[in-house]
Amino acid sequence: MTMTMNKTLPILDVRNVSKSFTLHNIDGRTVTALEDASFVVHPGEHVSLAGSSGAGKSTLLRLIYRTYSITAGSVSFRLANDEWVDIAQLSDAEVIALRGREIGYVSQFLHAQPRRSVIDLVARAGVSRGMSTADAHEQAGHSLARLGISRTLWDVHTSVLSGGEKQRVNIAAGLISPPRLLLLDEPVSALDPENRERAIEVIADLSDQGVAVLAVFHDLDAISRLASRIILMSRGNVVIDGPVDQVLPQLTPGDVQP
Amino acid sequence: MSQTEEHMTSIHVPSPIIQVRNLGKYYGNFDPAMIERTGPEHGTARDHVTASIVAAWGVNFDVAAGEALGIVGESGSGKSTVLRCIAGDVAASTGDVRLAPFEDGNVNILDLDPSARRQLRINTLSVVYQDPAEGLALGVTAGGNIADPLTAAGWRNFGSIRDRARELLARTEVPLDRMDDIVRNFSGGMRQRVQIARALANKPPILLLDEPTTGLDASVASGVLDLIRQLLEELQVAAIVVSHDFGVIEMLTERCLVMQHGRVVEDALTDQLLEDPHHPYSQKLVAAART
Amino acid sequence: MTLDTAPHTSPTTIAQLVGHRTTETFALLDEESKREIRRALLHAVCIPGYQVPFGSREMPVARGWGSGGLQVTLACVGSDDAVKVIDQGDDEGVNAVNLRRLVTMSTGIDETTEVYEATLIQSRHRIPEDDMNENHILILQVPVPEPLRGIERDIRELARMHSEADYSRMWVSLYEDKVRNGVITQSTGYPCLVASRYIVATTPIPRWDIPRLHQSKFLTLFGAGREKRVYAIPPYTDVEPLTFEDVPFEVESADGATCRLCGSSESFLVEMPGKQESWSCSDTAWCRRQRNT
C-alpha cells in the first residue's frame, strides 16, 4: 500500500480523552487513569510518551488500540481514503478490521504465542497486512537479519527463544509491512545494548516510510534519537507537548523511570 | 443478513457466517413474566414462581469467516446451552439462527426438522465436544470415526477414505500407526485429536467447540489448544468456542461474550475483556482467572 | 322361543382341527387375513426394500421355520398357481416337503420341482439356478429382516436411520470389516441397496445369488413371520450389494471344485454331508436335469 495521504493532515486526533475504572469487586470505587488528554499525531512523526510510572502512557496506547474502552472523549483516526472514524465508537468487528491492517501494537511481551517458527510468525504478520506469502517470507528474513536474529533461529519455535530474542521477533512482526499507525510499548526494554541499537535503527526507519509512531520508552537516549515530538504525562494528564528539542532538556531521569 | 451493530464507516467488515438473534431456551412451563424474574439481577436462572429454568435468553451475536467468538461463563451460565441450540443437540425455545453457507442465510435453521438439522451437521457445521465420547464411537477405529462423516457425505472409495483419514490424523498429530486402533484404547488427549480430525473431515465452514480442552492434563491441553489455534487460522472457519477458562478464550478468540444465569452480560473484544472488563461479574471472573 | 339344542361336532383332535379348517378356507387363512397380508405386500412392492409391518398369524409351522414365507405364499396363491418349495436348494428336504404339502392340501393346486412349471417358488437360502421371468414370484423365508441389526438395537433409531437414509453406520461397519479382515466378510445376509433407497437384508440367500436380484424379471417377496415384516424387490429394480467403489463384491468360490453328480462348475456347490472336499449342486432339481440331458 503506498502512502498517498496528505502528510500535513494528522492521522490521529485524540480529544479530551479520559479513562476511569470502576472496581465493582473491591468497593465500587472509581480509579482515574487518564484525564482530558488531547494531542495529534501526523504521518511520519515519532511521538514519544514520557512520564513516570502510572502517568497514563500505556493507558493511552491501550485506549487507542481499543484494549481499553474510553470513558469520555474521542480518538479520531484518518483512514487511507481520508475518512475520519472515532475508534472509541467503532463496533468490535470494525476494530478487528483496523487492527489487522491500519493500526499495530508492539508490546513488551510475546505471550500466548502458538508453536510457530520464528520466520513463519513474522511472515504471517506481513501476509495479514496484504503482502503475498513469498514477499512476506523474504521481507521477514530481512527484518530478522537486521534485528540480529541469525538464520539458524529462523525455523525454531518461538517458545525456545530467550526473552531478548522474543522481543526482537515481536518487533519484526510488528514492523513488517508496517501499518499506518504504530503503537510501541517499551519495545527495547529487554534488549542488551547491541540489539537495542539494531532495534532503534529499525524503528527510526519507520518515519521515512511515513508511518506515524506513538511510543513509550523508558530511555532518554532512545527518545532523543527517535522522537520528533515528546508528550510528557503526569498522573493521568498531559503536561507538556512539544518538539523534541524543546522538551527533551526539560525531562528529568524521574520522568522516564520504568 | 444484517449486522449486529450499525456502522456508518467505510471500514470493510466481513459479512457474518453465523447470525444469531434472540436465542432462548427454557425448561418447564412458559410464563412471559418469568423472563423478568430470572437472570443476573436475580442471581438465578430458575423462576421461583413456575419452577421453570431460563437456561438462555435474548442471545445475539454474529461470527464472520476466520473469526472465533468466545463464550465464557461458569457452569449454569447458559453458554453450553447456546452452543447446543445452534448445533441442534437441544431444541431452542425461540430465536433466529442463520448460516451463510446454508441457503445463503435465508433460512432460520431452528425451524428445520431434525433430519434437516442432521444434514447440516454433515457438511456445514461440526461440533467438538468436551467429552470425546460424545463426538466419537469408542468401539470404532480412529480411521473409522473419520470414515463416518465422509460416507455420510457420499464418499464410496475405500482408498480415498483412507487417504483423507490419514491426512486428517497427520494434521492433528495422531500417529498414523494407530489409525486402525479403536478409539477406546486412546488417551484423553489423543481422543480429542481424533475428534477434531473427524470434525474437519468434510471441511465444514463452521466449527463449534465446547470446552475442547477441559478435562485434559495441562501439558496435553496446551498441545491440543495450540493445534486448534493453528487450524482456526489455516482453515478460516467461523468458530464459536465455549469455555470457562480464560486461557483458552485468550488463545483462540478475538471477541467474546460473557454469560451469567442465562444472559449475556458483556460482549467485547477479548483483550478488552481481559484488561478492562466492565460488568461486575466479568470483573470477578477475570480477577479470579488472574490469580 | 326355542333354542337350537342340536349337538355340535367340535373337533377333539389336531387332525380334526386341521381338517376342519382346510375344508372351510382356501389356503389356510381367512379372506380378511389374506387381504391384510396382500395390502402389506402391495405397500412393499410400491416401496422397494422398505420393511412393511404386518399382523403375522399363527401358522402350523413354528416361528423360525418359514411361517413368514408361508403366509406370503398363502396370500398370493390362486387356484391356477403351481408351487415349488425348496430348502437350501433341495425340494426334498423335510421342511420343504412339509411346507409344500401345507400349501397344496389347503388349495388343491399343483406342485412341481421344475422352475419352468412353477409360478410361486418359496425358498429358504437359495435362488434356483434356472432363470425365472415375469411369470414367477420368488418368496424368500427371512429370519432377520433388519439389515442394521448388527449395529443398532433400538427400534426407534432403526426406523429413523431407514427413514432418513442415514446409513453411515452401516458404511462404517463395512469399513471396519475391511480394515480388520482385509475383505468384507459378511456371507449370508449381505446388505444391499434397493432402488438406491433402502438397505435390505438378503438374509436367506448366499452372496452367490445376489446378482440374480439386480434388474430381475421376476418379483421377489421376503416374509419374516417372527419379526412380522414383509418387503419386496419388484422386477427390474436396481439391487446393489453394499461395497466400496474400489472393493469389488465377491461371491463364494471353491477353487476348481465341480459337482460330483453332474460335473458342473457353474452352479452353487455345497459340500456333501459327511464327505469333506466332495461337492454337489445345491439346487438338486437343476442338478438332476443336467444328469438326464
For an interface test with A, the pick among B9, B15, B61, B279 (most A C-beta atoms closer than 10 Å) comes out as B9
**Residue A147 domain-assigned (yes or no):** yes
A40/A15 Cα distance (integer angstroms):
8
Q: What percent of chain B stands above pLDDT 90?
A: 86
Average pLDDT over residues B243-270: 95
Please check whether residue B291 touches A, CB under 8 A. Answer: no
Q: What is the chain B residue with the closest CA to A87?
A: B9
Residue A5 pLDDT greater than 50, yes or no: no
Selecting from A68, A81, A97 the residue whose C-beta is nearest the C-beta of B276 gives A68
Which residues, numbered 34 to 93 in chain B, qualify as contacts with chain A under a Cβ-Cβ cut-off of 8 Å?
62, 64, 67
In this prediction, residue C150 has a pLDDT band, given cuts at 50, 70 and 90, of confident
Half-sphere exposure of B198 (CA within 13 A, CB side): 33
Strand (E) positions, chain A? 12-23, 29-41, 46-50, 72-78, 84-86, 103-106, 181-185, 212-216, 229-234, 237-243
Give tens-digit pLDDT for A146-196: 999 999 999 998 888 888 888 999 999 999 999 999 999 999 888 899 999
Q: Which chains contact C through at least 3 pairs of Cβ atoms less than 8 Å apart?
A: B
Contact assignment for A90 to B275 by CB distance below 8 Å: no
- C46 is a catalytic site residue: no
More confidently predicted of C59 and C75: C75
A138/A73 Cα distance (integer angstroms):
42
Residue B38 pLDDT greater than 80, yes or no: yes
- C192 is a catalytic site residue: no
pLDDT the model gives residue C8: 58
Return the closest-CA partner of residue C37 out of C232, C198, C197, C233: C232
State the smallest CA–CA distance between residue C244 and chain B in angstroms. 5
Return the closest-CA partner of residue A85 out of B10, B3, B5, B13: B10
Give tens-digit pLDDT for A46-61: 999 999 888 899 999 9
Task: Give the active site residue among C49, C66, C89, C223.
Answer: C49
**Residue A164 domain-assigned (yes or no):** yes
Give tens-digit pLDDT for B136-171: 999 999 999 999 999 999 999 999 999 999 999 999
pLDDT the model gives residue C187: 65
In this prediction, residue B271 has a pLDDT band, given cuts at 50, 70 and 90, of very high
Q: Look at residue A29 and give its three-state secondary structure.
A: strand
Asked whether at least 3 C-beta pairs link C and A within 8 Å, the reply is no
Contact assignment for A91 to B13 by CB distance below 8 Å: yes
Residue C272 pLDDT greater than 90, yes or no: no
For an interface test with A, the pick among B225, B276, B279, B284 (most A C-beta atoms closer than 10 Å) comes out as B276
**Do B15 and B64 contact (CB within 8 A), yes or no?**
yes
Strand (E) positions, chain B? 16-27, 53-64, 68-72, 94-99, 125-128, 206-210, 238-243, 255-260, 263-269
**Residue A138 domain-assigned (yes or no):** yes
Q: What is the DSSP secondary structure assignment for residue C58, as one 8-state letter? A: P
Residues 6+ apart with CB under 8 A from B185: none
Give tens-digit pLDDT for C195-243: 999 999 997 788 999 999 999 999 999 999 999 999 999 999 999 999 9
Task: Give the active site residue among C64, C89, C259, C274.
Answer: C259
Average pLDDT over residues B117-139: 95
| Domain tally, chain A | 1
State the smallest CA–CA distance between residue A109 and chain B in angstroms. 14
**Which residues of chain B does A85 touch, with a Cβ-Cβ cutoff of 8 Å?**
9, 11
Q: What percent of chain B stands above pLDDT 70?
A: 97
Selecting from B141, B151, B180 the residue whose C-beta is nearest the C-beta of C171 gives B151
Q: Which backbone phi and psi does C175 adopt, to 5 degrees?
A: -60, -50
**CA dist A174 → A110, A182, A211, C274 (Å):** 11, 8, 12, 85
C181/B67 Cα distance (integer angstroms):
44
Assign 3-class secondary structure to A154-212: CCCEHHHCCHHHHHHHHHHHHHCCCCCEEEEECCCCCCCHHHHHHHHHHHHHHHHCCCE
* DSSP assignment string, B63-114: EETT-EEEEE--TTSSHHHHHHHHHTSS--SEEEEEETTSGGGTS-GGGS-H
Angle, vertex CA C144, rays to CA C143 and CA C147, nearest 5: 150
Contact assignment for C164 to B143 by CB distance below 8 Å: no
Q: What is the chain C residue with the closest CA to B155?
A: C244
What DSSP element (H or E) covers C219? strand C219-224
State the smallest CA–CA distance between residue B40 and chain A in angstroms. 15
Average pLDDT over residues C21-40: 83
Contact assignment for A91 to B62 by CB distance below 8 Å: no
Q: What is the chain B residue with the closest CA to A81?
A: B10
3-state helix, strand, coil in chain B (%, to 5): 40, 25, 35
Across chain B, what does the average pLDDT equal? 94
Contact assignment for C171 to B144 by CB distance below 8 Å: no
Contact assignment for C175 to B180 by CB distance below 8 Å: no
**Do A218 and A258 contact (CB within 8 A), yes or no?**
yes
Rounded-to-10 torsion of CA C19, C24, C26, C27: -40
Residues 6+ apart with CB under 8 A from B218: none
pLDDT the model gives residue B1: 53
**Residue A96 domain-assigned (yes or no):** no
The residue length of chain C stands at: 293
Q: Are strands A46-50 and A229-234 parallel, antiparallel or unpaired?
A: parallel
At B263, the amino acid letter reads R
State the smallest CA–CA distance between residue C125 and chain B in angstroms. 29
Please check whether residue B238 touches A, CB under 8 A. Answer: no
For an interface test with B, the pick among A67, A90, A101, A109 (most B C-beta atoms closer than 10 Å) comes out as A67
3-state helix, strand, coil in chain C (%, to 5): 30, 15, 50
More confidently predicted of A5 and C35: C35
Helix axis angle, B158-171 to B188-199, nearest 10° = 120
Please check whether residue C247 touches B, CB under 8 A. Answer: yes
Please check whether residue B255 touches A, CB under 8 A. Answer: yes
A117/A155 Cα distance (integer angstroms):
5
For an interface test with B, the pick among A25, A29, A116 (most B C-beta atoms closer than 10 Å) comes out as A25
pLDDT the model gives residue C254: 76
**Residue A129 domain-assigned (yes or no):** yes
pLDDT the model gives residue A110: 62
Q: Which backbone phi and psi does C31 adopt, to 5 degrees?
A: -60, -35
Contact assignment for A62 to B275 by CB distance below 8 Å: yes
Show the domain range for A141. 115-178
pLDDT the model gives residue A219: 84
- C281 is a catalytic site residue: yes
Contact assignment for B152 to C166 by CB distance below 8 Å: yes
Q: Are strands B16-27 and A84-86 parallel, antiparallel or unpaired?
A: unpaired
Residue A107 pLDDT greater than 70, yes or no: yes
